[in-house]
Amino acid sequence: MSNPPSERTRVKRYSQNAAYAPETVHAILDAMPLCHVGYVFNGSPFVTPTLQWRDGEQIFWHGSTASRMLEAAESQEVCVTVSLYDGLVMGRSAFNYGINYRSVMVFGRPVKLTDPAEKEAQLRHFVNKTIAGQWERLRPVTEQELGLATVLSMPITEASAKLRSGQPDDDQDADFPVWAGVIPVRFEVGTPEPNPKNLPGVELPPEALDFKLG
Considering only residues 20 through 49, tell me which ones interact with its own copies, judged by CB under 8 A: 32-34, 36-49
Question: Identity (one letter) of the amino acid at 88?
Answer: L
User: Does residue 74 touch its own copies according to CB under 8 A?
Assistant: no
Phi, psi of 148 (to 5 degrees): -80, -25
Binding-residue total with its own copies (CB under 8 A): 104
Give the integer Cα–Cα distance in Å for 183 and 164: 14
Q: Please report whether residue 206 would count as binding its own copies according to CB under 8 A.
A: no
Other Cβ atoms less than 10 A from the Cβ of 94: the count is 7
Nearest to 101 by CA among 26, 44, 179, 184: 184
Q: Which of 30, 65, 116, 165 binds its own copies (CB under 8 A)?
A: 65
Query: CB 45 → its own copies: shortest distance, Å?
Result: 4
CB of 23 vs its own copies, minimal distance in Å: 20
Alpha-carbon distance of 211 to 214, in angstroms, equals 10
Give CA separation, 144 vs 3, 51, 94, in Å.
Answer: 38, 21, 55
CB 163 within 8 A of CB 17: yes
Q: State the minimum distance, in angstroms, from the CB of residue 19 to its own copies.
A: 15
| Burial per residue of 164-192, b for 16 or more beta-carbon CB atoms within 10 angstroms, e otherwise | beeebebeeeeeeeeebebeeeeeeeeee
- Closest to its own copies by CB, 58 vs 198, is 198
Beta carbon of residue 123, minimum distance to its own copies (angstroms, whole number): 5
Q: Which stretch binds its own copies (CB under 8 A): 21-29, 53-61, 110-118, 142-150?
A: 142-150
Question: Rule CB under 8 A: is residue 56 a binding residue for its own copies?
Answer: no
**Which residues in the 86-115 window bind its own copies by CB under 8 A?**
87-88, 90-95, 97-99, 101, 103, 105, 107
Interface pick for its own copies out of 19, 55, 85, 121 (rule CB under 8 A): 85
Q: Does 61 bind its own copies (CB under 8 A)?
A: no
Among 19, 129, 132, 167, binds its own copies (CB under 8 A): 167
Cα distance from N-terminal residue to C-terminal residue, the chain: 28
Q: Does 135 bind its own copies (CB under 8 A)?
A: yes
The span from the CA of 186 to the CA of 32, in Å, is 12
Phi and psi torsions of 88, nearest 5°: -90, 125
Least distance between its own copies and beta carbon 145 (Å)? 4
